[in-house]
Structure 1
Amino acid sequence: MKTIVIYKSKTGFTKKYAEWISEELSADIFDVSKVRIDIIKNYDTVIYGGSLYASGITGVKFIKQNIYKLKEKNIIVFATGASPSKNEAINEVKDKNFTNDEQKFIRFFYLRGGFNYSKLNSFDKILMTLLKWKLKNKKDLTSDEKGMLAAYNNPVDFTRKKNLDELIIYVKSLESISK
């Protein structure tokens, strides 16, 4: 079974996971800006990864625009974010990014990434500064919000290879089914 890993990474956390997945599965890997749908037709399993941006998965538009061309393939999407994994938040991300029909074709995973303010582009820095001001003016911060404020001055990296275990096991189970 041939597998391709496609990703879009703004600050490097998604790219790190994509590279680990590619190594673990001996899969080809492409930045989404360098892949076309005709390349993907040669693969059985398509894994796409993007970071979360206001609950949206960056670059996932590529998968969504081509989902019906890919529906005979195994489609896996993973998103990375700085927040801890919580089922309610994960379901919100799935529902915001994919219709019920699209979810029938896609297996979704959330992987905890990190936050590095210094690696953001100018526009994202402005948006994150606005969020920082909003959080600073809030009276009762959650532990996640306190952690986010601390990360502005001290980058955090929660990427771990073990975070991929469920995704890797899933893909390998597809390989054993196809044999």
Structure 2
Amino acid sequence: MKTIVIYKSKTGFTRKYAEWIAEDLSADTFDISKVTINILTAYDTIIYGGSLYAIGIIGVKLITQNIDKLKDKKIVVFATGASPSREDGINEIIDKNFTQEQQKYIKFFYLRGGFNYSKLNLFDKFLMTLLKWKIKNKKQEELSSDEIGMLAIYDKPVDFTEKKNIDRIITYVNT
């Protein structure tokens, strides 16, 4: 079975997971910028990883816009984010990124990544600064656990990646 792992990573956490998955599955791995739909159709299993950006999975449109050409493949999408995994959050990610029809063909996984402000581009730094100010202006009792966590890690890089987090993906692909 021929497997490809593609990814789009802004700060390196998604790339780290993609490389671990590719290594465990002896799969080809590519940054999304190097991949076309014609390349994907040559594979039996397609694994796509992207970081979350306002609960949207960056780069996933390559998969979703071509689902008709990929329906006969095993398709896995994983997203990385700094927040701990929560079922309601995962369901929100799935529903925002995939139609009900697409969900029939795509198996989704969430992997906790990390946060590193210094690796963001200028625009993302600006947006994160606005978000930080917005959160800081809230009353303490109004803050969600995610907002409290974001404020705690904003000024120092954190890396929650663990190789064992890919085990569910590896098991799924191998069954």
Bucket of the pairwise TM-score, normalised by the shorter protein: over 0.9
CA RMSD, 1 decimal? 0.8
1:153 Cα deviation from its structure 2 partner: 1.1
What is the CA deviation profile of residues 98-133 of structure 1, one whole-angstrom value per residue up to 9, with x for unaligned ones?
Answer: 000000010000000000001000110111001100
User: 1:51 maps to what in 2?
Assistant: 51
Deviation at 1:76, TM superposition (A): 0.4
Distance of 1:68 and 1:86 partners within structure 2: 30
Aligned to 1:142: 144
CA distance in 2, matches of 1:95, 1:147: 24
Distance in 2 separating the partners of 1:65 and 1:144:
31
The amino acid that maps onto 1:40 is L
- Please report how far the alpha carbon of residue 72 of structure 1 lies from its aligned counterpart in structure 2 after TM superposition: 0.4
Give me the TM-score of the superposition, normalised by structure 1. 0.94
Unaligned residue ranges in structure 2 (runs of 5+): none
Q: Which residue of 1 aligns with 2:20?
A: 20
Q: Which residue of 2 aligns with 1:88?
A: 88
Distance in 2 separating the partners of 1:41 and 1:62:
12
Question: Aligned runs of 1:62-73 on 2, under 5 Å?
Answer: 62-73=62-73
Give the whole-Å Cα distance in 1 for the aligned partners of 2:151 and 2:13: 19
**Paired positions, count:** 173
Measured after TM superposition, the shift of residue 165 of structure 1 is 1.0
Q: Which residue of 1 aligns with 2:154?
A: 152
Paired-residue identity, %? 73
Cα distance in 2 between the residues matched to 1:97 and 1:34: 22
Measured in 2, the distance between the counterparts of 1:154 and 1:122 equals 17
Q: Name the counterpart of 1:114.
A: 114
Q: Measure, in 2, the Cα distance between the counterparts of 1:160 and 1:123.
A: 29
Q: Which amino acid aligns with 1:125?
A: K
Structure 1 residues 35-44 or 116-125, which shifts more? 35-44
